[in-house]
């Protein structure tokens, strides 16, 4: 009977015969939360009871139709497709590129602040003048450029000290880096933007150097350089070379520079536009070397004691302005210095006057005259002074010079690597 009632809820069952007039319908039992009653047509009418869920063996169960089950599965599949993928170890890692960029920014900022501790810029734009990559920096209120150099093994000579050419190259390097760091470097060799527009370049007119002590292999030297006015149409540049560890002054140098037209190769006055560029960096100070005002002598074949001929520049001796680098002139001057002086003495001071430039096709002669008493006793002399001339074959003067030499300990060296007792 229960099966028939449940089936009649979906499929009506027709009555085979007319109902008995004396038959009275009875109330049927509760069938799993449904109530059924006999209709007048002889079928059963079932009503669902939503308030009392059925129980089996004392446990509540739910009766879900197949349609509701399918609907529930569709809703679950749609919700799972729209949800984000589960978090794994790979997609929870941080963005390393952003992290590295942040670390780099913090490091550069900290390094810049550290380098600014020993000076305070007078002008607000001077913060840009610090080079954080070790090529030098601006100090002393923006008027002095400082750079360190380590003496390499290929920069020392036979007496195991840095050569004078090495020292001069350090001076020239700091001068160019000063212009570059100050933001005044145009497309020329140390020329400012206004100088480039007018085809002007700097040429050295006079150089004076005093060497108190030569550094050795492995030493670190600290070079300070600054610029100032020199007359109406000149610029003075000073250098101080110190031992980086002790602060001892090793070399002092002062030079005067003038302008020359790159095309006509003639000297030029300083234009006002160029003066406006360089004057903010002028430091009004005395030369670091006491100027030697003595006139440099002119030598010839009769007054010279030593002559060296056939000196010609190589392609590597030219700079970007297509003339011989001024440091090369020093090497040519020393070509005619007597060997006895080179072996027993070291260069202590030097004064040079540059008269004209030298091209790549020039052939030069180097002349030297020893001013001290007696040429034959050079090794026994305390201080020796020499006069020098570098000229073209036709007699045109390139450089006049004077050098002062002091004794060194080379004569006390027995074998290589042995130091004299005074230096041990």
399-421 burial by CB neighbour count: b if 16+ within 10 A, else e?
bbbbbbbebbeeeeeeeeeeeee
Encoded tokens for 244: 């980086």
In the structure encoding, which two tokens stand for residue 28, read together?
Answer: 């049927």
Long-range contacts of 243-246 (CB under 8 A, 24+ apart): 243/215, 243/219, 244/148, 244/219, 244/220, 245/220
DSSP 268-336: E---HHHHHHHGGGB-----SS----SPPPPP-TTT-SEEEEEE---GGGB-TTSSB-HHHHHHHHHHT
DSSP 3-state assignment of 102? helix
Nearest CA-CA partner of 411 in 341, 352, 364 = 341
- 247 phi-psi bin (left φ>0, alpha ψ -120 to 50, beta other): left
Roughly what angle, to the nearest 10 degrees, separates helices 164-181 and 326-335?
A: 170
Residue 345 annotated to the active site: no
Active-site residue among 170, 323, 345, 388? 323
Rounded-to-integer distance, Cα 239 and Cα 292, Å: 17
Q: Which residue has the tokens 């005093």?
A: 210
* Active site (annotated) includes residue 321: yes
As a whole number of angstroms, the distance between CA 308 and CA 289 comes to 30
Active-site choice (148, 169, 199, 321): 321
Q: Tell me the chain's radius of gyration from C-alpha atoms.
A: 49
Q: 348 — phi, psi (to 5°)?
A: -105, -30
Chain centroid, CA 410 distance in Å: 40
358 a catalytic residue = yes
Tokens coding 344: 């027993």
**In terms of Cα–Cα distance, which of 223, 233, 235, 234 is closest to 281?**
235
Q: Which of 177, 326, 358, 386 is catalytic?
A: 358
Give every CB contact of residue 194 below 8 A, 6+ residues apart in sequence: 186, 271, 273, 274, 276, 277
In terms of Cα–Cα distance, which of 58, 74, 77 is closest to 66? Answer: 74
Which residues belong to the active site?
321, 323, 358
């Amino acid at each position: 009977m229960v099966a028939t009632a449940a089936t009649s809820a979906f499929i009506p069952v027709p009555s085979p015969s007319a109902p008995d007039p004396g038959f009275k319908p009875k109330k049927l039992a509760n069938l799993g939360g449904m109530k059924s009653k006999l209709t007048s047509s002889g079928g059963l009418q079932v009503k669902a009871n939503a308030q009392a869920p059925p129980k089996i063996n004392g446990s509540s169960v739910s009766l879900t139709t197949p349609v509701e089950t399918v609907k529930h599965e569709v809703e679950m599949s749609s919700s799972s497709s729209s949800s984000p993928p589960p978090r794994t170890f790979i997609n929870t890692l941080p963005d390393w590129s952003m992290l590295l960029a942040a670390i780099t920014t913090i490091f550069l900022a900290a390094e810049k602040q550290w380098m600014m501790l020993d000076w305070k810029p007078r002008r607000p734009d001077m913060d840009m003048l610090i080079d954080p990559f070790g090529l030098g920096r601006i100090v002393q209120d923006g008027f002095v450029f400082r750079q360190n150099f380590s003496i390499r093994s290929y920069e020392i000579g036979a007496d195991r000290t840095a050569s004078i050419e090495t020292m001069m190259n350090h001076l020239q390097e700091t001068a160019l880096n000063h212009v570059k760091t100050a933001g005044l470097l145009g497309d020329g060799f140390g020329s400012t933007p206004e100088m480039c527009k007018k085809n002007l370049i700097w040429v050295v007119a006079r150089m004076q150097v005093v060497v108190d002590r030569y550094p050795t292999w492995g030493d670190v030297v600290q070079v300070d350089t600054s610029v100032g006015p020199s007359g109406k149409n000149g610029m003075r540049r000073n250098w101080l070379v110190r031992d980086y560890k002790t602060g001892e002054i090793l070399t002092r140098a002062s030079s005067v520079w003038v302008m020359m037209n790159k095309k006509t190769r003639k000297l030029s006055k300083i234009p006002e536009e160029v003066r406006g560029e360089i004057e903010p960096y002028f430091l009004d100070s005395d030369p670091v070397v006491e100027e030697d005002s003595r006139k440099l002598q002119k030598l010839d074949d009769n007054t010279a004691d030593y002559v060296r001929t056939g000196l010609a520049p190589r392609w590597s001796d030219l700079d970007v302005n297509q003339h011989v680098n001024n440091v090369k002139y020093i090497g040519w001057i020393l070509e005619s210095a007597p060997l006895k002086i080179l072996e027993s003495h070291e260069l202590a001071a030097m004064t040079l006057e540059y008269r004209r430039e030298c091209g790549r096709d020039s052939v030069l002669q180097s002349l030297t005259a020893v001013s001290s008493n007696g040429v034959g006793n050079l090794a026994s002399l305390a201080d020796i002074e020499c006069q020098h001339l570098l000229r073209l074959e036709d007699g045109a003067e390139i450089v006049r010079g004077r050098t002062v030499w002091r004794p060194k300990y080379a004569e006390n060296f027995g074998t290589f690597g042995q130091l004299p007792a005074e230096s041990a």
